[in-house]
Amino acid sequence: MYFQIRSVVLWPRDSSFEPRVVSFEPGMTNVVMGGSRTGKSAIIPIIDYCLAARSCAIPKKVIRTSCAWFGIVVETKQGQKLFARREPGEQHTSDEMFSMEGREIQIPHSIGSLNAVTPDVLAAQHDLDQVMRELRRKQRDLERAQRASSRWEAEMAGQLGRARELGFAEPGVTDLSQEAMLALLRDVAKKTVEDFHADSTTVSQAVEELVRLEALESKLSNELANLKGRQSELTRLREGAGSYEEALVLQRDRLAISEWLVTQPLSEEGCPLCGSITATEQEKVEELRRNLEQIEASAGQVSELPAAVDREVQQLRRGVDELAQQLAGVRRQKRALTQSSTEAQQRQFGSLSAAHFLGQLSQALSLYDEVADDGELAAEIVVLKERAQLLSDRIDIE
């Protein structure tokens, strides 16, 4: 966040005098020097007061009796901002505020003739400014998306033709309406690379083998991902069990005294600790002993858990290694096959082209839906417009 104080401004009660401006250099330490009782100690309270402090800590001296308004100018990434607040008089604080924004603030001669605002209106103005910025950005995004979507609509027939070339759509009538083409392309976008196929009369043995290897590679990759996920879950379970066991051991150590208390005979003197002869204390000691037994039983069960988890983790690790080796072998076969068969290379290139086409098609359809009248982006713009109108009405009322 970039926020630098550029100046402190004091507006005198006597409007025949110009406002007093104490300027600061940005990006460095500023040292304020001056004689005694010249207002140095009031600078920080003025800044605090202008930044919406709950009360005014500016000393009630000459500066309070001579000034009508206090203000600061700050530098942000969006430009300069002026925050001013009326001197509260005998009150602890004042709700009358004034703000101004711009690339470079020109300090007004006086604020009394301008429209001072309450904190609620100031907050509403700030919210309105943020909403309008977001609204303009969303509108620009929508316009760009609409232009891109319009170009894609013009190319919709070509996209459908490409889908038919890749075998994702059956050959059919070419003179279709835009709605019909859109429906067909939505069906195509639901397909995967596994649906990519060529004419069965032209598929050679090498291509058939490549298709089989691609399917096997996909299957092994999914199985490997599942095993790795299971292995990660068991590792977290093992760590959690260790922490739980430590907590149980700590509780067991704290309750161990109950065994000693139970073995002590009850004499006429009563409890060996407090001397009481009542049976209530003995019942409580017995309850502690039962709790100790339960904790010891739980600790025994938990102590067996890590060993069982470790055995399963080892089994999963062996399974992961075996699948990784099988997957590496399948990929070596694919490389060897594509290097030796031109037709297989073409098949692999076709698969990559099909995947690229499906990705582009899905993205284009998402963009098309987004810029529609009932799309997500259009709905966000409507919400922002409604919010901006509510804030404007609130500012006008107050």
223 and 331: one domain? yes
Distance separating alpha carbons of residues 207 and 342, to the nearest angstrom: 10
Q: Which domain holds residue 233?
A: 205-264+274-340
Residue 369 lies in a domain: no
Residue 350 lies in a domain: no
Residue 397 lies in a domain: no
Residue 126 lies in a domain: no
Residue 381: predicted pLDDT = 86
Is residue 218 within 8 A of residue 327, CB to CB? The reply is no
Residue 314 lies in a domain: yes
Residue 360 lies in a domain: no
Residue 200: predicted pLDDT = 44
327 and 212: one domain? yes
Residue 17: predicted pLDDT = 92
Which parts of the chain sit beneath pLDDT 70?
112-119, 149-158, 160-162, 164-167, 171-175, 178, 192-210, 237-282, 284-286, 288-289, 292-293, 295-309, 336-357, 367-368, 370-375, 397-398
Domain count, the chain: 3
180 and 297: one domain? no
Buried b (16+ CB within 10 A) or exposed e, 211-233: bebbebbeebeeebeebbeebee
217 and 294: one domain? yes
Three-state SS for 194?
helix
Q: For the whole prediction, is pTM greater than 0.75?
A: no
Condensed to tens digits (0 to 9), the pLDDT of residues 87-117 reads: 999 898 998 888 888 899 999 998 865 656 6
Please state, in angstroms and as integers, the Cα–Cα distance from residue 104 to each residue in 19, 107, 381, following that order: 17, 10, 30
79 and 144: one domain? no
159 and 50: one domain? no
Residue 280 lies in a domain: yes
321 and 300: one domain? yes
Please state, in angstroms and as integers, the Cα–Cα distance from residue 56 to each residue in 24, 48, 174, 270, 295, following that order: 23, 8, 77, 68, 60
104 and 147: one domain? no
Of 66, 102, 63, 67, nearest in space to 82 by CA:
102
72 and 8: one domain? yes
Residue 84: predicted pLDDT = 94
In the block, residue with structure tokens 């379970």: 237
Q: How far apart are the first and last CA of the chain?
A: 31
Residue 229: predicted pLDDT = 83
Residue 72: predicted pLDDT = 97
Residue 167 lies in a domain: yes
